């Protein structure tokens, strides 16, 4: 790749990232985080509350749509999902190459989540 093409690609990615950031900042969930107060603790607590709400909603969807009652172990996986997805994607990329590494990561996570449902230690 020539330097000109790398610069063009870099500029394009920067513009795309800035565009996504501006769009996110217009959304209500972003604005709501400013209401958490001026402390780091307040922001972290609000973020935890929002993430927990989404996980509880997902648990209800699993129950209503798929007939799956989420157990304690599965609930903990759902709470940690962004972190686990990042690790699984990196692992898939390193071990199997870049092709479809996100899809592979989520497939692995979904299989593990289902397996935890049939585990006697799932609680």
Residue given tokens 């989520």 in the structure block: 106
Please say whether the beta carbons of 54 and 48 come within 8 A. Answer: no
The two tokens of residue 119 are: 């585990």
The two tokens of residue 66 are: 């798929």
Report d(CA 33, CA 50) in Å as an integer.
9
Q: What's CA 68's distance to the chain center, in Å?
A: 21
What's the whole-model pTM score? 0.68
| Digit-coded pLDDT (tens) for 8-29 | 877 888 888 888 888 888 887 7
Identify which of 115, 110, 109 has the alpha carbon closest to the alpha carbon of residue 89. Answer: 109
Report d(CA 92, CA 46) in Å as an integer.
32
Q: In the prediction, which pLDDT does 1 show? A: 47
How many residues are listed for the chain in this entry?
123
Average pLDDT, the chain: 86
Assign 122 a pLDDT band (cuts: 50, 70, 90).
low
Rg (CA), the chain: 19
Number of H helices, E strands in the chain: 6, 0
| Digit-coded pLDDT (tens) for 66-91 | 999 999 999 999 999 999 999 999 99
Q: 119: which DSSP letter? A: -
Spell out the domain ranges in the chain: 1-36, 40-123
The two tokens of residue 29 are: 């969930």
């Amino acid at each position: 790749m020539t330097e000109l093409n790398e610069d063009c690609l870099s500029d394009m990615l920067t513009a795309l990232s800035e565009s996504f950031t501006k769009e996110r900042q217009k959304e209500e969930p972003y604005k709501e985080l400013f209401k958490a107060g001026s402390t780091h603790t307040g922001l972290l607590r609000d973020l935890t509350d929002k993430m927990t709400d989404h996980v509880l909603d997902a648990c209800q969807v699993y129950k209503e749509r798929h007939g799956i009652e989420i157990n304690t172990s599965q609930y903990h996986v759902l709470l940690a999902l962004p972190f686990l997805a990042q690790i699984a994607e990196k692992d898939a990329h390193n071990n199997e190459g870049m092709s479809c590494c996100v899809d592979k990561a989520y497939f692995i996570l979904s299989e593990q989540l289902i397996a935890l449902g049939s585990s006697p230690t799932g609680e």
